[in-house]
């Protein structure tokens, strides 16, 4: 690992070399050397490596802790790659700049944390209504209000339930490692273009700040042709007008119905989750992000105490893995949802399985990360209650 532990700074000379410039002056991600050596980097840094490898060539944003390294890394890496980095005057401006770049067919992204994401919500709704592929990274911090800069999972409602106005949905991906911050950012660009829809990478602050080895994937070779709908400033695309306004009620209703047909296709094809030791589990644990990593340790610890627990980790928070949850719940006696919030995802778990088994909740908030020890103690109490034994 020696010599590779400075992540994006070591990559700058590679991205700066003059070879492999395309006809629009943009650097090909193939210039990154894949020698099999992982790079030690923060999850926030891994986001930008993944974005460039995915063909992203524009970043508009505004730094905010604990997401600031995303902007810092983009500022260092995007210009040498022939890409655009611009620190906007506000979060509102940043998302509208993304709207413009996406309208022109450019793979574009922005990133922020809770308060900044709140400011972007009007623009996210505009992008969803205009069917524009934009990738948004939300590194969650403590809230509400200014809160603090510690990790939390209180933005679930804002992202998964649609924090902006109108009938729309964004795809939400939840990484639990620095490697997945890179990989799922790349996947976000693919999904955004496949469905012409905003995609959010939703991570708690600990995943953004955590430093781990990351194996860089190979670059995306072929970007989609967007000339059929994008406005590229050419005579051929002059007729393409990107807008979400539909002044006639029936016209807007038809558009909303078309959007929801698209969302149904996403629900049919793009659900992702991970299971851990669920084959014989009679207690199903559910958590995402850094909580899922804690819960893996919890599963191992309580199994040593004779409690057969298993873990389901949603990777797509929307679309949510309802059927996978139901299949596992049908073989279990109960479920325990753990979140770094007062309870948000738990509502979706209850909607999916509460007719099958009881669903309990355990939450920490304000930036407190639950420990393996406290969760083991909680599970032992629950198990005794289920067995009718007084603790």
Asked whether residue 121 falls in the same domain as residue 242, the answer is: yes
**CA 345/CA 204 separation, integer angstroms:** 14
pTM of the model: 0.92
Instruction: Name the E strands within 73-133.
Output: 84-87, 108-112
User: Is 19 part of any domain?
Assistant: yes
Asked whether residue 192 falls in the same domain as residue 78, the answer is: yes
What local confidence, expressed as pLDDT, does residue 123 receive?
A: 97
User: Is 314 part of any domain?
Assistant: yes
User: Is 98 part of any domain?
Assistant: yes
Asked whether residue 265 falls in the same domain as residue 291, the answer is: no
**CA 191/CA 34 separation, integer angstroms:** 24
**CA 243/CA 127 separation, integer angstroms:** 9
Asked whether residue 73 falls in the same domain as residue 165, the answer is: yes
One digit per residue, the tens of pLDDT, for the chain of length 391 reads 344 444 444 555 455 554 554 544 455 555 555 567 899 999 999 999 999 999 999 999 999 999 999 999 999 999 988 899 999 999 999 999 999 999 999 999 999 999 999 999 999 999 999 999 999 999 999 999 999 999 999 999 999 998 899 999 999 999 999 999 999 999 999 999 999 999 999 999 999 999 999 999 999 988 999 989 999 888 888 889 899 999 999 999 999 999 999 999 999 999 999 999 999 999 999 999 999 999 999 999 999 999 999 999 999 999 999 999 999 999 999 999 999 999 999 999 999 999 999 999 999 999 999 999 999 999 999 998 877 654 4
- Final residue belonging to a domain, choices 269, 299, 319: 269
Asked whether residue 259 falls in the same domain as residue 332, the answer is: no
Asked whether residue 288 falls in the same domain as residue 179, the answer is: no
CATH of the domain at 107: 3.40.50.970
Asked whether residue 250 falls in the same domain as residue 347, the answer is: no
Query: How many folded domains does the chain comprise?
Result: 2
Domain that holds residue 368: 275-387
Q: Is the peptide bond before 319 cis (omega within 30 degrees of 0)?
A: yes
User: Is 1 part of any domain?
Assistant: no
Asked whether residue 73 falls in the same domain as residue 209, the answer is: yes
User: Is 3 part of any domain?
Assistant: no
What local confidence, expressed as pLDDT, does residue 24 receive?
A: 46
Asked whether residue 234 falls in the same domain as residue 215, the answer is: yes
What local confidence, expressed as pLDDT, does residue 27 receive?
A: 52
Asked whether residue 328 falls in the same domain as residue 257, the answer is: no
Q: Is the peptide bond before 66 cis (omega within 30 degrees of 0)?
A: yes
Write the DSSP string, 240-276.
Answer: --------SHHHHHHHHHHHHHHHHHHHHH---EEEE
What local confidence, expressed as pLDDT, does residue 368 receive?
A: 97
**CA 371/CA 389 separation, integer angstroms:** 25
- Final residue belonging to a domain, choices 253, 269, 285: 269
What local confidence, expressed as pLDDT, does residue 4 receive?
A: 43
User: Is 82 part of any domain?
Assistant: yes
Asked whether residue 253 falls in the same domain as residue 283, the answer is: no
What local confidence, expressed as pLDDT, does residue 286 receive?
A: 98
The burial class, CB within 10 Å (0-12 / 13-18 / 19+), for 190 is middle
CATH of the domain at 284: 3.40.50.920
What local confidence, expressed as pLDDT, does residue 238 receive?
A: 84
Cα 361 to Cα 211, 336, 340: the distances in Å are 29, 6, 11
Asked whether residue 211 falls in the same domain as residue 283, the answer is: no
What local confidence, expressed as pLDDT, does residue 14 receive?
A: 54
- Final residue belonging to a domain, choices 236, 269, 302: 269
């Amino acid at each position: 690992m020696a010599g590779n532990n400075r992540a994006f700074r070591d990559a700058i000379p590679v991205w700066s070399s003059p070879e492999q410039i395309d006809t629009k002056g943009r650097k090909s991600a193939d210039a990154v050397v894949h020698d099999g050596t992982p790079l030690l980097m923060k999850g926030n840094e891994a986001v930008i490596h993944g974005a460039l490898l995915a063909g992203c060539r524009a970043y508009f944003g505004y730094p905010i802790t604990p997401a600031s390294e995303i902007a810092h890394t983009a500022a260092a890496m995007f210009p040498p790659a022939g890409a655009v980095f611009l620190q906007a005057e506000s979060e509102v401006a940043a998302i509208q700049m993304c709207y413009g770049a996406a309208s022109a067919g450019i793979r574009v992204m922005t990133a922020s944390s809770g308060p900044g994401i709140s400011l972007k919500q009007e623009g996210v709704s505009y992008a969803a209504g205009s069917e524009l592929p934009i990738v948004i990274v939300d590194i969650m911090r403590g809230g509400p209000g200014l809160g603090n800069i510690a990790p939390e999972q209180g933005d679930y409602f804002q992202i998964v339930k649609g924090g902006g106005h109108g009938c729309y949905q964004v795809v939400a991906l939840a990484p639990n490692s620095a490697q997945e911050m890179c990989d799922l950012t790349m996947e976000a660009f693919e999904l955004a273009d496949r469905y012409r829809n905003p995609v959010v990478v939703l991570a708690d602050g600990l995943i953004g700040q955590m430093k781990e080895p990351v194996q860089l994937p190979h670059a995306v070779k072929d970007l989609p042709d967007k000339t059929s709908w994008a406005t590229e400033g050419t005579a051929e695309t002059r007729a393409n007008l990107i807008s979400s306004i539909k002044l006639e009620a029936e016209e807007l209703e038809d558009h909303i119905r078309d959007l929801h047909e698209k969302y149904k296709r996403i629900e049919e094809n793009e659900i992702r989750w991970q299971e851990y030791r669920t084959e014989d589990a009679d207690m199903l644990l559910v958590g995402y992000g850094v909580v899922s990593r804690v819960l893996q340790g919890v599963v191992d610890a309580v199994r040593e105490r004779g409690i057969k627990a298993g873990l389901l980790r949603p990777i797509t928070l929307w679309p949510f893995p309802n059927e996978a949850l139901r299949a596992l719940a049908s073989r279990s006696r109960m479920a325990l949802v753990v979140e770094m919030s007062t309870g948000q995802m738990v509502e979706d778990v209850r909607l999916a399985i509460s007719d099958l088994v009881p669903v309990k909740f355990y939450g920490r908030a304000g930036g407190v990360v639950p420990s393996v020890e406290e969760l083991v103690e909680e599970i032992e109490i629950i198990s005794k209650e289920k067995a009718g034994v007084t603790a």
